[in-house]
Amino acid sequence: MLNIVLFGPPGAGKGTQSEKIQTKYNLIHLSTGDLFRKHLSEGTELGIEAQKFMDEGNLVPDRVVIGMVEEKIADNMDANGFIFDGFPRTIPQAESLDEMLSGRNIPIQVMVSLDVPDDELRTRLLLRGETSGRADDQNEEKINNRIRVYKEETIPVAEFYQKTGRYQSINGVGSIEDIFDRICSTIDSR
């Protein structure tokens, strides 16, 4: 199995690039943000619980996220591998993912981190907010909160992967195709 974590701040392009990676390497795209939005659109209890955190740009509690991911992995054990998009976002999530995967003998080979300056993130998210209908994209205050939460709660996850030699950072500014080529080179040289 090929298992990759795509990492980066909100608006770095994780969702955009994950779709391309999924197609090229024939992987299951596991986006926790997309899963929450699906639950929300179906009006499930989990979706309703997640919404209040997402709308403000805060992280959904670990126990909710981890249970949802575990279920998705268990349902897809015959896959070629997984691209984890937006997960893990906290150290407990990273530890749980390692436990889930090492128990099944399918470790994460590499975390690819998209490096994008804050001003570019704000510009991209405000632009998406004009059409996405996402409450968390619609004003600068919420976007700034998401960037702050990323720096305080999520950056330590990169250090966790760095310590175990599985971290690669790439420039996330440029055309979508150029960034995709950089990601593929990193994956192929792992």
Chain positions contacting ligand B4P, by CB under 6 A: 8, 10-16, 32-33, 36, 53-54, 57-60, 65, 86-87, 89, 93, 124, 128, 136, 146, 176, 179
- Per-position b or e across 123-160, b if 16+ CB within 10 A of its CB: ebbeeebeeeeeebbbeeebbebbbebbeeebeebbeb
Which helix (H) or strand (E) segment is 28 a member of?
A: strand 28-31
Least CB distance to ligand B4P at residue 93 (A): 6
Least CB distance to ligand B4P at residue 16 (A): 4
Of the candidates 72, 128, 166, 182, the residue annotated as catalytic is 128
Of the candidates 72, 122, 134, 166, the residue annotated as catalytic is 134
Residue 4 pairs with which residues in a beta bridge? Answer: 83, 110
List the Cα angle 129/131/134 in 5-degree steps.
Answer: 50
> What is the identity of the amino acid at 169?
S
Q: Is the peptide bond before 88 cis (omega within 30 degrees of 0)?
A: yes
Of the candidates 146, 148, 163, 190, the residue annotated as catalytic is 146
Q: Which is nearer to ligand B4P, 15 or 81 (CB)?
A: 15
Known catalytic residue: 146? Answer: yes
Q: Which is nearer to ligand B4P, 124 or 167 (CB)?
A: 124
Q: Which is nearer to ligand B4P, 136 or 160 (CB)?
A: 136
Known catalytic residue: 37? Answer: no
Contacts of residue 123, defined as CB under 8 A and 6 or more positions apart, other chains included, come to none
Least CB distance to ligand B4P at residue 30 (A): 10
How far apart are alpha carbons 73 and 91 in whole angstroms?
A: 19
Least CB distance to ligand B4P at residue 71 (A): 14
How far apart are alpha carbons 8 and 17 in whole angstroms?
A: 11
Known catalytic residue: 63? Answer: no
Active centre residues (catalytic): 14, 89, 128, 134, 146
